[in-house]
Amino acid sequence: MSNDLDDAYRYCERISRASASSFCWSFRLLPREQRRAMCALYAFSRLTDDLADSGEPTETRRTQLAGWRSELHDALQGECRSPLWQALHDTTVRFAIPDEYLFAIVDGVAMDLVPPHYDTFDELRQYCYHVASAVGLACIHVFGFDDDRAKTLAETCGVAFQLTNIVRDLSEDAEQGRIYLPREELAQFDCSPEDIRQRAMNPQIRELLRFQIARAERLYNEATPLATLLHPHGRRAFTLMFSTYRTLLAEIKRRDGDVFQGRIRLGYRGKLKALVAALLFQPVPLAPASRDAELRPHTSRTTSRGRPTVRQSGS
């Protein structure tokens, strides 16, 4: 790598370290090339998210995100205006990451510029795809995979991760006027947005959250075989991410869904528990893929410019 590209990746690594995200400690399990690529993807996602949370007026943020999307387009064509774009462009070429996933991340952040209102889980799932599944789909190209079923499982895993976030952050999101849970499910459990804003852990909300926890558990179970489809180094990093989020959901369940008594964090002991779970993790293998049945994630496709296919490292 050139010195400029090394500096670009170091810039992304500094952003990743400063975030103290539970995701980032899993990057340490990866070889240098993959670790740098994950830092570039993380830095891109982090800075994109920061634009939406800048506190500027909505129209200002919308304009900034449109400009950011334009910069992303240029960077993917090789016109890089900052260290972030230089590292991200190199990552997308090196690991053959489709452009559509990166644009979906920007579009997902733009969805948060207005208070969320999702009537059905299918609508919420589309939001989860943009803000979480698209990230996961980009990541598995860095981790390495040979079976296209990994894409469907990565999409499901992203929904599980994001639903866990939504349940964990229910109280603080409600204080900001953000309630992501589907309106038809609130009605099903005789809850209202106002009940959530009042932080009232009444029997109706408890049952609503038990329902969401059970759904997230099913999604994690569906996504579990993804680990078997990833190349060995990527499998280790993914398993730690997966165990961290699943341990977080288990902590929410241990509290019987009571997310109103302070933000739920894993802390050192929780992270240690996630690490042990990752070391003991035994994914259920998938049956061999049928030649006649090709599983594809149900996503909105955008035009992706052609790039040469490159080696997916991780074996």
What is the pTM (predicted TM-score) of this model? 0.86
Q: Rounded to an integer, what is the distance from CA 292 to the centroid of its chain?
A: 30
Distance from chain centroid for Cα 77: 25
How does pLDDT run across 174-229, given as a tens digit for each residue? 999 999 999 999 999 999 999 999 988 899 999 999 999 999 999 999 999 999 99
Ranges of the chain whose pLDDT falls below 50: 291-315
Question: What is the pLDDT at residue 28?
Answer: 85
Q: Please, are residues 230 and 148 in contact by the beta-carbon 8 Å criterion? A: no
All domains in the chain, ordered by first residue: 1-16+28-114 (1.10.600.10), 119-283 (1.10.600.10)
Residue 200: the pLDDT is: 80
Distance, CA of 283 to CA of 67 (rounded, Å): 42
| pLDDT at residue 277, rounded to an integer | 65
For residues 45 and 33, give the distance between their C-alpha atoms in angstroms, rounded to a whole number: 19
